[in-house]
Amino acid sequence: MVTYILRRLFWSIPVLLLATLLAFVLVKAMPYEPFNDPKLAPSVRQNLRELYGLDKSGAAQYADFLTDFVQGDFGLSTKPGNRPVREIITDTLPATMVLGGLSFFFSAMIGITLGVISALRHNGIIDYAITFFATAAFALPSFVVATLWVSGKVYLPPPIGVIQFEFPYGWDSWWDRVGPIAVLGLAIMPYFTRLVRASMLEALEQEYVTTARAKGLPWRRTVFRHALRNSMIPTVTNAGPLFAFVLTGSFIIERIMIVPGVADQFIESFGQPIDSRMVLATTVLLSALIIVLNLVVDLIVAWLDPRVAND
Amino acid sequence: MTDRTNGIPDDPKAARSDGPTTEDRLNEPPAASQVADLRLEAQRELGDLAGNWSARVEAFDVTDAGGVAGEQRSLIRDAARRFSRNKTAMAGLILLTAYVLLAIFVPMFGDIRQATQIDYTQKELKPSWDHLFGTDPQGKDLWLRAWIGARISLSIAFVVSIVILAVGVTYGSLSGYVGGRVDNTMMRFLDALYGLPYLPFAIITVTVMKEKFPDAEPIVYMVPALSITAWFTSARIMRGQMLSLKSNDYVESALAAGASAGRVVTRHVLPNTIGVMVVVIFLEIPNAILGEAFLSFLGLGVQPPDASWGVLAENGYTYIDAQPHLIWVPALLIASTVLAAIAIADGMRDALDPRGQVH
């Protein structure tokens, strides 16, 4: 187990390096020349380029970037004000983490519950209703749900028609935060529901369930102690890709629902001129975040199912 | 489960796609599993949603589908028959075909000026016979714009899927065929790439491509952006195929008869994976459709005056209070296309591997 953990930790180093390299090469290839303003005197431009280290070779710039990055120096933003990128990120990352974390947590709770209910009522009305709901929530892109939420329109069958509501959104108070968290959670929830439903159905057919029942274990205890616990492994195993999915969703939701998060800042950086330091730092940090979360998931899986680690 | 990372599945059960039973788990050597393998195993059992399906496909046991041309043909016919009995899958296929036909013919026969020229006398009309989906605040006909947008959105989605498949086939066949150390390194590298977040890299790539090709059609800059971090699953699937097929007798006899490795792969192994390849294409279509919509919605992908479903959705977002139906049209088109592609992929997978149907 210890060897396994160490090996996984070891492997995440080249992964992170690779992410930084790819991000760096791509960002270098971007239309990025912040000091090309013809109004600047050539000498001033030269000084600025030296200040930002742009006069060096690509490899040297990458080395500079890595050294600075591991020391927590992400460079200066090229936006008006030239704030340190690190400051922008520490200001905005918490909102993204809270949004992602809470919506992940609530969608897991609700999604797993619905999945279990669906599996226990297999092919019943409730099962169909939950499956329909999950499919609709999966197929409707999150920007549509977010837009409708913000517009506050609720569609009811005639003769009632469209009713106008004021749904909370924004990030100022915890009440406002309910909106973004609910909409992002709604986008993630179907994954849990479908996963848990399928693995529960699978688990309920297994022999250990029959055995447990035959030995006189109450149904409730069989379901929760045996079937549910075993069907949690595939659910956790699949949580890795979900983090990336949550991140993708937060780009849209921060934008539409006015959350001052790092994903929104990232998109802001693509104005003219492109704030390449910000883009680079954010991309690397988000990659690191996903890699670390995947690592955590792998370790949890190894803990749940020790066969994984005994390689 | 049998270790797919390092070798050929020695237990035929392990390669079946209906998931290992408890018995299987007990019979298997416990030493083998990697987390990645476990993840695949889980996905294979459960794959019900887009992202999760692909792995199920990987475990196709195509070994008995191999080799003989006549048998192959009848297998395809069998699969087609099974597919046509699957109502959901057929509904998906009919819907997607209808969308493709509408995308081709509606702009061809419609009055394009109604979709491109601003005409305030026609603005914000309700749906009617003249304007099936009504008009937007600039007086542009939404029905026409929806199908002009479908051209861009659907063609991007198809091309992206094919590019993803091509990269996956190349990478996966190489890794799976060569095997050993090369395979191990290539798979570790692939694991590493999985850590890259999709949207940031798509946004950076689209910006780079737009800079390099300022006057290009949307497809030129959207395809690289949507493929760059999307081919990993396809590579894994194709590698799994290669591993399970390369141990077949017909591969060995071809090699013994003096055929080169390249010829064996392209002429003997890959043709046997066509079914899986088609499944991969339909699995990637939803991601590409949604990816295009996300980027364009954020104003970083396709941009007006070009129309795509993402552009239309952005427009609908802008006018949500005055004309809520502007967002519903692209939203429902996107949602139904996603569901249709998934239904087709699912149906095709079941048709190709009837034993794999669980629930």
pLDDT of residue B16: 37
Q: Which residues of A touch B298 (CB under 8 A)?
A: 251-252, 255, 267
Contact B2, B180 (CB under 8 A): no
Check B200 against A266: CB less than 8 A apart.
Answer: yes
Q: Is residue B218 domain-resident?
A: yes
Distances (CA, A) of B322 to B139, B165, B261: 14, 42, 63
Q: Is residue B70 domain-resident?
A: no
Contact B317, B327 (CB under 8 A): yes
pLDDT of residue A212: 85
pLDDT averaged over 10-residue windows placed end to end, chain B, 359 residues? 38 39 40 44 42 40 44 71 86 94 85 71 68 71 87 94 94 89 86 82 90 85 91 90 84 84 84 86 91 91 86 88 84 92 88 59
Q: Contacts for B316-320 with beta carbons within 8 Å, 24 or more apart? A: B316/A147, B317/A143, B317/A147, B317/A256, B319/B136, B319/B137, B320/A147, B320/A148, B320/A150, B320/A151, B320/A153
Number of Cβ pairs closer than 8 Å across A and B?
188
Residues of chain B numbered 120-149 and touching chain A (CB < 8 Å): none
- Please give the Cα distance from B138 to B133 (Å, whole number): 14
**β-pair partners for A162:** A155
Whether chain A has a CB inside 8 Å of the CB on B219: the answer is no
Answer yes or no: do B220 and B316 share one domain: yes
List the domain range (segments joined by +) for residue B23: 17-59
The owner of tokens 């549509």 is A144
Q: Is residue B254 domain-resident?
A: yes
- Please give the Cα distance from A185 to A179 (Å, whole number): 10
- Please give the Cα distance from B270 to A196 (Å, whole number): 35
Question: Confidence class of residue A244 from pLDDT cuts 50, 70 and 90?
Answer: confident
Closest-CA residue of B relative to A152 is: B321
Task: Compute the nearest-CA separation of A308 from chain B (Å).
Answer: 5
According to DSSP, residue A170 is labeled: S
Tell me whether residue A82 is exposed, middle or buried, using C-beta atoms within 10 angstroms of its C-beta: 0 to 12, 13 to 18, 19 or more.
exposed
Count of alpha carbons within 13 angstroms of residue A226, beta-carbon side: 20
How many CB atoms lie under 10 A from the CB of residue A45?
Answer: 17
- Please give the Cα distance from B231 to B202 (Å, whole number): 13
Q: Report, as an integer, the average pLDDT of A151-171.
A: 79
Answer yes or no: do B150 and B102 share one domain: yes
Q: What domains sit in chain A, N to C, each tagged with a CATH number? A: 2-304 (1.10.3720.10)
* C-alpha B34: how far from chain center: 26
- Please give the Cα distance from B323 to B136 (Å, whole number): 8
| Total number of domains constituting chain B | 2
Q: Is residue B67 domain-resident?
A: no
Whether chain A has a CB inside 8 Å of the CB on B213: the answer is no
Of A289 and A114, more confident: A114
pLDDT digits (tens, 9 = 90+) for A106-123: 999 999 999 999 999 888
pLDDT of residue B266: 84
Whether chain A has a CB inside 8 Å of the CB on B42: the answer is yes
Q: Is the pLDDT of residue A299 over 80?
A: yes
- Please give the Cα distance from A282 to A254 (Å, whole number): 15
Q: Is the pLDDT of residue A295 over 90?
A: no
Q: Which of A29, A255, A310 sits opposite B30 (nearest CB)?
A: A310
Q: Which residues of A touch B321 (CB under 8 A)?
A: 151
- The C-alpha angle with vertex B285 and arms to B354 and B304, in degrees rounded to 5, equals 165
Distances (CA, A) of A281 to A75, A77, A286: 9, 10, 9
Contact B333, B350 (CB under 8 A): no
Whether chain A has a CB inside 8 Å of the CB on B108: the answer is no
Of A74 and A95, more confident: A95
- Please give the Cα distance from A180 to A259 (Å, whole number): 8
CATH of the domain at B206: 1.10.3720.10
- Please give the Cα distance from A188 to A186 (Å, whole number): 6
Answer yes or no: do B333 and B267 share one domain: yes
Of A150 and B52, more confident: A150
Contact B351, B85 (CB under 8 A): no
Whether chain A has a CB inside 8 Å of the CB on B306: the answer is no
Q: Is residue B10 domain-resident?
A: no
Q: Which residues of B touch A200 (CB under 8 A)?
A: none
- Please give the Cα distance from A89 to A266 (Å, whole number): 10
Q: Is the ipTM value over 0.95, yes or no?
A: no
- Please give the Cα distance from B78 to A45 (Å, whole number): 70
Answer yes or no: do B31 and B128 share one domain: no
pLDDT of residue B264: 84
pLDDT digits (tens, 9 = 90+) for A14-61: 878 888 888 888 888 776 566 666 677 778 877 777 777 777 777 888
Answer yes or no: do B45 and B134 share one domain: no
Helical H runs in chain A?
A: 2-28, 42-51, 58-70, 85-120, 125-139, 142-151, 174-204, 207-214, 219-221, 229-237, 239-256, 262-268, 276-304
Q: Contacts for A153-158 with beta carbons within 8 Å, 24 or more apart? A: A153/B320, A153/B324
DSSP per residue over A55-79, as a string?
Answer: TS-HHHHHHHHHHHHHTT---B--S
pLDDT of residue A65: 84
Q: Please give the structure tokens belonging to residue A47.
A: 């000084």
- The C-alpha angle with vertex A239 and arms to B202 and A253, in degrees rounded to 5, equals 50
Answer yes or no: do B165 and B307 share one domain: yes
Q: Which residues of B touch A247 (CB under 8 A)?
A: 197-199
Closest-CA residue of B relative to A289 is: B195
Whether chain A has a CB inside 8 Å of the CB on B214: the answer is no
pLDDT of residue A275: 84
Closest-CA residue of B relative to A194 is: B48
Answer yes or no: do B47 and B193 share one domain: no
Question: Confidence class of residue A182 from pLDDT cuts 50, 70 and 90?
Answer: very high
- Please give the Cα distance from B313 to A92 (Å, whole number): 27
Please give the helix or strand (H or E) that residue B262 lies within, else none.
Answer: helix B261-263
pTM across the whole model: 0.81
Residues 6+ apart with CB under 8 A from B216: B209, B210
Q: Would you say how long chain A is, in residues?
A: 311
Q: Please give the structure tokens belonging to residue A85.
A: 């990128």
Closest-CA residue of B relative to A268 is: B298
Residues of chain B numbered 148-207 and touching chain A (CB < 8 Å): 188, 191-201, 203-205, 207
Q: Is residue B98 domain-resident?
A: yes
Q: Is residue B261 domain-resident?
A: yes
The owner of tokens 């079914």 is B275
Q: Which residues of A touch B194 (CB under 8 A)?
A: 294
**β-pair partners for A163:** A154
- Please give the Cα distance from A205 to A219 (Å, whole number): 14
Q: Please give the structure tokens belonging to residue B271.
A: 């043709």
**3-state SS track over B223-258:** HHHHHCCCCHHHHHHHHHHHHHHHCCHHHHHHHHCC
Answer yes or no: do B151 and B26 share one domain: no
Residues 6+ apart with CB under 8 A from A4: A302, A308, A309, A311
pLDDT of residue A153: 76
pLDDT of residue A109: 92
Query: What phi, psi does B248 have (nearest 5°)?
Result: -70, 155
Please identify, among B33, B59, B85, the residue that sits at the C-terminal boundary of a domain.
B59
Answer yes or no: do B93 and B29 share one domain: no
Of B296 and A301, more confident: B296
Answer yes or no: do B40 and B117 share one domain: no
Query: What phi, psi does B60 have (nearest 5°)?
Result: -45, 130
pLDDT of residue B355: 58
- The C-alpha angle with vertex A63 and arms to A62 and A69, in degrees rounded to 5, equals 85
Helix/strand/coil percent split, chain B, to 5:
75, 0, 25
Q: Choose among A295, A301, A176, A186: nearest CA to A245.
A: A186
pLDDT of residue B257: 85
Q: Is residue B109 domain-resident?
A: yes
pLDDT of residue B281: 92
Three-state secondary structure call for residue B320: coil
Whether chain A has a CB inside 8 Å of the CB on B334: the answer is yes
Q: Choose among A251, A41, A55: nearest CA to B290.
A: A251
Whether chain A has a CB inside 8 Å of the CB on B55: the answer is no
Check A30 against B331: CB less than 8 A apart.
Answer: no
Q: Would you say how long chain B is, in residues?
A: 359
Answer yes or no: do B274 and B141 share one domain: yes
Answer yes or no: do B322 and B268 share one domain: yes
pLDDT of residue A238: 75
- The C-alpha angle with vertex A87 and arms to A84 and A92, in degrees rounded to 5, equals 130
